[in-house]
Structure 1
Amino acid sequence: MNHPVIASLLPVVLFILAGFVAGKRRWIGGGAVRDLSNLVFMLLLPALLFRTMSAVHLEQLDFKPIGMYFLAASLVYAAVLLVQGYNRRGAVLALAGTFSNTGMIGIPLIGLAYGQPGMVTLFTLISLHSLVLLTSGNIVLELAAQREDLQRGVAPQHSVWVTVLRALRNGIIHPIPLPIIAGLLFGLTGWRIPPLLDQPLQLLGSAMGPMALVLVGVTLAYGSVGPHLKGALAMAGVKNLLHPAVVLGLGWLLGLSGVPLAVMVVTAGLPIGANVYLFSQRYGVAEDLTTASVAVTTVMALLTLPLVMLVAGQG
């Protein structure tokens, strides 16, 4: 019970289980899940990100592991796109194979397992995670949609450059990158957050982990996997096992080790982030499979994450 893997995962499992029970008993209605998710992403998570990053000094950050992580993600993304084909469905599934649930599960898990050094490494990654993956994913999706329209003889509504610029704007104006950037800029001033503001930010940030994990359980309670189980299991193989394996292999090749490598590998092994479903919903493609994949990768992570954390610890 005192093993670090078990000790760090057990609270995560218990919070998710509590949310699952609450969802099954309908203590939290299905319509309230979206509102509570907005509360986490729009208030609690930004408070945690801003407060943490305001105490970080840019010159102390190591971006080598981050570059390695995105290189690995691009390889997995390209592999899934190659298998699925260059279309909207393939683009959504490729994003699902590389976009981790860094907010709801990653932050509390990394914090419990690796402490403050791990959190700084994770937040450095998170500062670019959504910006890079969601922006590039949005661009690929838009271009794939235009390609499909042209194949059907439908003229695209916007030029390629307009599509790219809109995707870049949407990637930056996001509740995750903005507070991280704001926190880093505040830290550059050398000022400290006044106690009257710091304490509320600390309380809001500390509520993020439990609330987010409970919501994961509630979402699982309302989800439907059934007909898409086979496809969801295949996505779990890509997200929970292939992605961290590629990150680990590249990390070894580049000579990385210790907490930075472990955080990158474990982050890659996290289940699919909910933002992928929003993409599938927006483009009206693979919605049921994406929903099932989010649920299955989350459940499977209870089995695969201990393995990933143990292997990463050997690095």
Structure 2
Amino acid sequence: MNLAAHPVVASLTPVFLLIAAGFLAGRLHWIRDEAVKDLSNLVFLLLIPALLFRTMSAVHVETLDLRPLAAYFLAALGLLGASIAWRGFNRRSVVLALGGVFSNLVMIGITLVELAYGKEGLVTLLTLVSIHALTLLTVATVVLELAVARENRANGQAQPHVLATTWSAFKSALIHPIPLPILCGLLFAQTGWVLPVVVDKPLQLLGSAFGPLALVLVGVTMARTPLGGEIRTTLWITASKNLVLPLLVGVSAWAFGINGLPLTVMVVAAALPMGANVFLFAQRYEVAQEAITAGMGLSTAMALFTLSLVMLLMSWIG
């Protein structure tokens, strides 16, 4: 058997070669820190919305199967709660738990799933993407604010009502360059209209630029990510994100009677490395920044092996 021709190898190799190219560029300082921020804005504010809107503009809601989403979030929220209970209810515990369940669905997942499973697999993934951040980040924000309120009450400080905190978190997660174009694309699809060629072609070109640039930026970020310090905590986060979550999602999906491509996409999505949004939470709440930074780098580096293993297993199961 020609290993290079195996579909798992054929889809993973371009992904990790582009990340490696970005890592090299970062190490050699070909891209300045200021440029990384500008390129990230380009990806998130222009290229991703174009890709997401165009893909979902031809998808009809009645054809979507929402059971895989229920299976995924049952596992993810269950692991999040168990991790918080294990470490204790405080800001650090919540941020570390979020690091163990929040996948990099956009920067790595979209390109990988499209290469490996085609447009049908991509639509399944984007259905998850549309509410992934909305669900996990909103829950994490509310739990974090409750933890902060608990700490402040102990210090005699007043806090906003939990409903106000929940509504604010929900709005911030919904009005975002990832779920918003997905929802807009779905709404457009329900009209029965078709995008004119003069609009569709630029969106296609912008969307095709997303994959390579996003993966190179992942590599550049890794080159600037220190892996030292809090090794034990970092290993726990990586094991939770790369191995425990996909196992739980697989069991949950099996319990829901899900099989075939939806099962594979959900498990692979769960096996993706940690997403960068977790670091933003660590920064905002000024806790576990070193552990999350190291965890993000190690999770991405180890995904070369763990993600390959998960995809290979799912190719046999499927």
TM-score by length of 1: 0.98
- For residues 230 and 33 of structure 2, what CA distance do their matches in structure 1 show? 21
1:17 equivalent among 16, 20, 28: 20
- Between 23-32 and 205-214, the greater mean CA deviation after superposition: 23-32
Deviation at 1:31, TM superposition (A): 2.6
Which residue of structure 1 aligns with residue 174 of structure 2? 172
2:198 equivalent among 196, 214, 239: 196
**Secondary structure of 1:94's partner?**
helix
Q: Deviations over 1:104-138 (max 9, x none)?
A: 10001101111111001001111111111111111
1:112 equivalent among 107, 111, 115: 115
Deviation at 1:57, TM superposition (A): 0.7
Please provide the CA RMSD for this pair: 1.0
- For residues 118 and 307 of structure 1, what CA distance do their matches in structure 2 show? 19
- Residues 270, 301 of structure 1: 8 Å contact kept: yes
**Secondary structure of 2:229's partner?**
helix
- For residues 86 and 154 of structure 2, what CA distance do their matches in structure 1 show? 20
Which residue of structure 2 aligns with residue 138 of structure 1? 141
Q: Is 1:294 paired with 2:292?
A: no
Which residue of structure 2 aligns with residue 161 of structure 1? 163
- For residues 169 and 301 of structure 1, what CA distance do their matches in structure 2 show? 32
TM-score by length of 2: 0.97
2:38 equivalent among 22, 35, 43: 35
Deviation at 1:304, TM superposition (A): 0.2
- Residues 98, 278 of structure 2: 8 Å contact kept: yes
Which residue of structure 1 aligns with residue 60 of structure 2? 57
1:84 equivalent among 87, 93, 104: 87
* Structure 1 spans left out of the alignment, 5+ residues: none
Which residue of structure 2 aligns with residue 264 of structure 1? 266
Deviation at 1:311, TM superposition (A): 2.1
Alignment of 1:220-239 (within 5 A): 220-239=222-241
- Residues 80, 94 of structure 1: 8 Å contact kept: yes
- Residues 142, 162 of structure 2: 8 Å contact kept: no
- For residues 139 and 93 of structure 1, what CA distance do their matches in structure 2 show? 15
- Residues 241, 273 of structure 2: 8 Å contact kept: yes
**Secondary structure of 1:59's partner?**
helix
Deviation at 1:150, TM superposition (A): 1.1
Deviation at 1:312, TM superposition (A): 2.2
Which residue of structure 1 aligns with residue 50 of structure 2? 47
Alignment of 1:84-103 (within 5 A): 84-103=87-106
- Residues 30, 222 of structure 1: 8 Å contact kept: no
Alignment of 1:272-287 (within 5 A): 272-287=274-289
- For residues 96 and 43 of structure 1, what CA distance do their matches in structure 2 show? 26
* Structure 2 spans left out of the alignment, 5+ residues: none
Q: Deviations over 1:156-208 (max 9, x none)?
A: 2x111111111111111111110001000111111111111111110111111
Which residue of structure 2 aligns with residue 4 of structure 1? 7
Residue type of the partner of 1:82?
A
Deviation at 1:84, TM superposition (A): 1.6
- For residues 210 and 222 of structure 2, what CA distance do their matches in structure 1 show? 19
Residue type of the partner of 1:90?
S
Deviation at 1:229, TM superposition (A): 2.9
- For residues 209 and 230 of structure 1, what CA distance do their matches in structure 2 show? 33
- Residues 100, 267 of structure 1: 8 Å contact kept: yes
Of all paired residues, the percent bearing the same amino acid is: 55
- Residues 248, 312 of structure 1: 8 Å contact kept: no
- For residues 306 and 224 of structure 1, what CA distance do their matches in structure 2 show? 24
